[in-house]
Amino acid sequence: MDLQLQGQRALVTGSSKGIGRGAAQALAEEGCNVLLASRDGQALEAAAREIQAKSGRKALWKAIDLGQRGAAESLADWAGEIDILVNNAGAIPGGDVFTVDEDTWRRTWDLKVFGYINLTRAVYARMKAMRRGVIINILGNFGERVNAASIAVSSANAGLAGFTRALGGASHADGVRVLAISPGPVATDRLFNVYKQMAQAKLGDPNRYPELFGTLPFGRPATVEEITAAVAFFASPKSAYTTGVIVTIDGGIVSSS
């Protein structure tokens, strides 16, 4: 299927690894010129080289900490006129309301919650002026399947889901679409590290972590490609009537809980 993305410019944050890197790769393979951003310049440079080699599309990068004041506006200025924004930067630790201290809560929310909001504000203004554009926020299914043991994660994703629905429900008036993709467990290094810790605690051997996947739908986590294919589709004109929604891709976890 031709997604009609040839020649579009896409900015993807948190794109040095995992879902962000996969999203940049998927968009480049559909013909987008991609702009990568994260805090790790060395990993970004490697990602840009690989994406460009595999896709033949231009891949530029900028190392930046979107948790810092003014960083979102600086990144938007660097990126210039873009057609697609994928907000993906940031990771919030698990823990209950007493475990996550205020400094951790504020620091991680500055990056993920306010990073998404501030970059969206900066990019949306440009998209509104162009009367076109798509913003996709990568969330997580804990925003729907709230969990007191991961309270900072749950409340962040729930808040960003509300932000996405509110903005995306009105953005059509400006010719812009805003939506979110909310994955469940995805086969990234971060997930594997969590499962290795669980395997060490439960089985005495971190390398036995695949044995713990049996409780997941289909007996496995989602692949990165299963998430990023959706990013490319929903960013495309093939999904031109989609805005203000959260698309959950978690194998049915939320639906069955």
**Does residue 201 lie within any of the structural domains?**
no
pTM: 0.95
Within a domain: residue 198?
no
Does a structural domain hold residue 245?
yes
Buried-exposed string 4-43: b where 16+ CB fall within 10 A, e elsewhere:
ebeebbbbbbbbbbbbbbbbbbbbbbbbbbbbbbbbeeeb
**In a domain? residue 102:** no
Is 197 a member of any domain? no
pLDDT digits (tens, 9 = 90+) for 188-243: 998 888 888 888 888 888 899 898 899 999 999 999 999 999 999 999 999 999 99
Query: Is residue 21 included in any domain, yes or no?
Result: yes
Which of 128-132, 145-149, 172-176, 226-230 comes out lowest in average pLDDT?
145-149
First to last CA, the chain: 34
Would 202 be classed as within a structural domain? no
Mean pLDDT of the chain: 95
CATH number, residue 167: 3.40.50.720
As given in the structure block, the two tokens for residue 59 are 């891949």
Question: Domain of 133?
Answer: 9-91+111-146+161-186+222-249
Q: What pLDDT sits at residue 49?
A: 97
Alpha carbon distances (Å) from 191 to 160, 199, 213? 21, 12, 11
Asked whether the predicted pLDDT for residue 102 surpasses 90, the reply is yes
Domains: count for the chain: 1
217 in a structural domain: no
